[in-house]
Amino acid sequence: MTWWLAVVFVVLACVFALYLSVTAGRLDRLHRRIDSAQANLSTLLLRRNSAAIELASSGLLDPASSVLILNAAHVARECADDTLADRSFSESALSAALNAALDESHEPDEPGSTGLEHQLITEVVALGTRVQLSRRFLNDAVRACRQVRQQQLVRIFRLAGHTAWPQTMEMDDALPVGLGPR
């Protein structure tokens, strides 16, 4: 009889080991997805930063708007090497500066005719759209990863190793009113 029990025990142990290995594989995949999503978002934020500086230096905007944008862009640039979570504040400030400069909706008396269809502005808005998308994709990946990492077995067996608890990126990435996608 003990012979039987031993077989059952070994089979169960194998199934359990397989489960742990598959789950570790899943976690690894999710972490890699988060890494590449973070890298994409970081690149897009930098590109948006460059596009904002280019726009502010082009003479297309009034001097006050230019100073606002340049200022915010330079602050964000200085934080570029920090973790994404630490850049949230400076990047949100850049969004706010861009929105304040490009949003015409608070001046309803003089609609249009501000040359807002210019290529440089289109570029800033297009990059803003991609930042929005990229941030959503990152946060989706983080949520999926957290779900797995919260499982009891994953915590007991430390399947996530030394990887830091994944962080979502929270920032103001709203687009200028009237310029965003529908």
Q: Measured from the CB atom, is 25 or 111 closer to another protein?
A: 25
Q: Measured from the CB atom, is 8 or 177 closer to another protein?
A: 177
Residues that bind another protein (CB under 8 A): 22, 25-26, 29-30, 32-33, 36-37, 39-40, 43-44, 47, 119, 122-123, 125-127, 129-130, 133-134, 136-137, 140-141, 143-144, 147, 179-182
Give the span between the Cα atoms of 168 and 83, in whole angstroms: 11
Q: Measured from the CB atom, is 105 or 122 closer to another protein?
A: 122
Could you tell me if 99 and 27 are in contact, meaning their C-beta atoms sit under 8 angstroms apart? Answer: no
Rounded to a whole number of angstroms, the minimum distance from the CB of residue 4 to another protein is: 29
**What secondary structure does DSSP assign to 19-57, as a single string?**
HHHHHHHHHHHHHHHHHHHHHHHHHHHHHHHHHHHHHHH
Give the span between the Cα atoms of 62 and 164, in whole angstroms: 45
Rounded to a whole number of angstroms, the minimum distance from the CB of residue 120 to another protein is: 9
